[in-house]
Amino acid sequence: MSKTTSIFARVEPEIKEQAEMVLNKLGIPMSNAINIFLRQVIFKNGLPFEVNITSSRPLAVGDLTSEELNNEVEKGFGDLKEGRVVSADKVAERISREHGHEL
Q: What's at 7, amino acid-wise?
A: I
Q: What's at 44, amino acid-wise?
A: K
CA-based torsion, 22, 94, 75, 54: positive or negative:
negative
CA-based torsion, 78, 84, 88, 92: positive or negative:
negative
Q: What distance in Å separates the CA atoms of residue 78 and residue 76, rounded to the nearest whole number?
A: 5
Looking at the predicted structure, is the pLDDT value of residue 103 above 70?
no
Asked if 63 and 103 sit in the same domain, the reply is yes
**Domain range holding 69?**
56-103
CATH number at residue 43: 1.10.1220
Question: What is the number of domains present in the chain?
Answer: 2
Q: For residue range 15-24, what is the model confidence (pLDDT) as tens digits?
A: 999 999 999 9
38, part of any domain? yes
Cβ burial of 93 (10 Å; 0-12, 13-18, 19+) is middle
Q: For residue range 28-66, what is the model confidence (pLDDT) as tens digits?
A: 999 999 999 999 999 999 999 888 776 666 678 888 888
Looking at the predicted structure, is the pLDDT value of residue 77 above 70?
yes
